Amino acid sequence: MSVPVSSGVLALAAACLLAACGGDSSSSNEAPSAGLRVVSSAPEWVSGGDARVAVSGPSDLLGEAQLRLNGEPVDLSRFEIRDGALEGVVDGLEEGDNTLLVRHPDHGTLARLTLTNYPVEGPMFSGPHQYPFVCTTVSELGKQPLVDTDGEEGFPVRDDEDNVIGLSRDCGIEPYTEYWYRTTDDQYKPLPEGDSRPADMATTTLMDGREVDFVVRWERGTINRFIYSIAMLAEAGEEPGSLDTDLWNGRLMYRFQGGVGIGHTQGSMDYNRRALQPDVLGQGYAIIYSTGTRMSEHYNMQVGGETALMVKERFIEEYGEPLYTVGLGASGGAIQQYVYAQNHPGLIDAAIPVQSYPDMVTQTIHIGDCELLEHYMDVTDQGNEKWQTTTNRTWLVGLNATDAVPDPLYDAKQMLGYGGAPGSTECVESWRGLTPLTMNPYYGQADNQDQMQPPGLMATVNWSHYDDLRNIYGVDGDGYPNTLFDNVGVQYGLQALLDGNITEEEFLALNEQVGGWKDQKDMVQEGFPFLYSEEDVMGDPSLFDP
């Protein structure tokens, strides 16, 4: 039940509570108190300068009490009675700790909370932001980021040579809302202004059986530097800012996304299949989504979890607490659900992990092994006929192998005089290309990175998974991030030796010559097949070597 409150004090709220709850306060010898909680987040993790809060307690006490923020009375004109408590958004929070209390003229403080507020661009707990950071709001949304300003004067931030630094350090934009509709041929289009109903507008059937036009209220903006999206069904022609929830079934989905990324970009949105997933929206669910919880943009689970908390906080501030929140996502979207459910209880109430992916810590072990062993079989020991049979390669790499999936570089390697097998191992199918992206600081890139100012700044980036997580793994004495890969003492091919698939001589030669990954400071840029063509390598076969 929702009852609007029109006064700046709790007197009218108490009357509403008495009517809604059907009772009066009972006498007690205990000191009077009230309940006060933050609905939109944990009180220590508030962001953006506002929070949805709820006040509960005996009606006679609340009738004379007042809600105060940092000593100043809170305007309760937009508060409502929800589930027997007075609930609404408190804004104007200062960065850092804020004191929110329910104050009674006779009984003093009935309830007190400390709300710790962080800026909407973050961070809260994930550590220093990653810079430089490529803005994508122009390419994704057609919105120019807000200009970074310096102090109260509002002048643009400039570098040592007086150049304006942009696009923007943190890529922020103001949130905005648009109305889109689903067409009968399964597309999304902006809803035209006016009263006329588009001829190609689709309809959808809600969980309660109502058939309604498929119109979506779609909010986008930036939170924790990433682009976020909030979507739910709405009536065509509603007044902007009304946020009518009549078509919402009260349930929320957080749509996570997978991939492997190494940061330094705001990222891109998948709106048609995820942010505006039609089979979910069409039932009346609300969907929240962020490029910061898309692992193809970065693989920092602290940043991702932090972003998810902040995006859900934004949703609750606007619409209230959902009945429940369910996660959905594949691969990297699956691991996010596992980790966030563990690290942030209450963020999601149910998880739908698809194509389950374990974690990047254990994955990087055989990610690093893949290229070493492929190179050993194709180059160092290319004369050994055993490695020309695809399934035999499992003896060393320990992963599945099949001729049913061809190695796309097999013909090229044969032309260049190297070894190979016609089929693929999981190293080829799953990790070729992602291995250097994870391990090599010189290999990665970000779309639109040439737009960063000052020119050449992106050349200083350490493009590796480990640098993406430097706040977690730490750095060495030279400033390079600590890594997880080390094969000192590893006995490659030991099981193959015990099974009689390779000889003692082959076992010893393998472990003597397989090598390892250089320290990051000693690595060089990738060559064939990642940066050089077959023609390049035909002219200079050394480009094939790591």
- What's the chain's Rg over C-alpha atoms? 29
pLDDT at 1: 42
pLDDT at 544: 56
pLDDT at 156: 57
pLDDT at 29: 58
pLDDT at 40: 98
pLDDT at 79: 92
CB 134 within 8 A of CB 265: yes
Q: What whole-number distance in Å separates Cα of residue 514 and Cα of residue 487?
A: 10
In this predicted model, which residue has the larger pLDDT, 70 or 430?
Answer: 70
- pTM for the full model? 0.89
In this predicted model, which residue has the larger pLDDT, 82 or 281?
Answer: 281
Q: Which position has the token pair 């082959």?
A: 506
pLDDT tens column, 224-253: 999 999 999 999 988 877 889 999 999 999
pLDDT at 67: 95
pLDDT at 533: 60
pLDDT at 540: 66
pLDDT at 367: 82
pLDDT at 64: 86
On average, the pLDDT of the chain sits at 88
Q: What whole-number distance in Å separates Cα of residue 136 and Cα of residue 495?
A: 48
Lay out the sheet containing 85-91: strands in order across: 2-4, 80-82, 85-91, 50-56, 35-38
Least confident among 166-180, 284-298, 416-430: 166-180
CB 270 within 8 A of CB 257: yes
pLDDT at 7: 42
pLDDT at 387: 97
pLDDT band for position 155 (cuts 50, 70, 90): low
- Residue 528 main-chain phi, psi, to 5 deg: -65, 140
pLDDT value at 11 more than 60: no
pLDDT band for position 162 (cuts 50, 70, 90): low
Residues above pLDDT 70, as percent of the chain: 87
What are the C-alpha distances in Å from 461 to residues 299, 443, 446, 474? 16, 10, 11, 16
Q: What whole-number distance in Å separates Cα of residue 231 and Cα of residue 446?
A: 27
Domains of the chain: 2-118 (2.60.40.1930), 137-358 (3.40.50), 362-544 (no CATH)
Q: Which 3-state string (H, E, C) describes 514-534?
A: CCCCCCHHHCCCCCCCCCCCH
pLDDT tens column, 318-363: 999 999 999 999 999 999 999 999 999 999 999 999 999 888 888 8
Mean pLDDT along residues 468-477: 94
pLDDT tens column, 59-72: 888 888 899 999 99
Mean pLDDT along residues 401-418: 92
pLDDT value at 302 more than 60: yes
In this predicted model, which residue has the larger pLDDT, 444 or 401?
Answer: 401
pLDDT at 22: 41
Q: Which residues pair with 182 in a beta bridge?
A: 188
pLDDT at 62: 81
Q: Is 430 exposed, middle or buried (0-12, 13-18, 19+ CB in 10 A)?
A: middle
Q: Which 3-state string (H, E, C) describes 252-286?
A: EEEECECCCCCCCECCCCCHHHHHCCHHHHCCCCE
Task: State how far Cα 409 lies from the chain centre.
Answer: 34
In this predicted model, which residue has the larger pLDDT, 96 or 165?
Answer: 96
Mean pLDDT along residues 280-293: 98
Q: Give the residue from 205, 200, 196 showing the smallest Cα distance to 188.
A: 200
pLDDT at 4: 45
pLDDT band for position 543 (cuts 50, 70, 90): low
pLDDT at 214: 98
pLDDT value at 298 more than 60: yes
In this predicted model, which residue has the larger pLDDT, 445 or 35?
Answer: 35
Mean pLDDT along residues 496-504: 98
pLDDT at 278: 97
Residues in the chain: 546
In this predicted model, which residue has the larger pLDDT, 14 or 308?
Answer: 308
Q: Give the residue from 456, 461, 436 showing the smallest Cα distance to 525.
A: 436
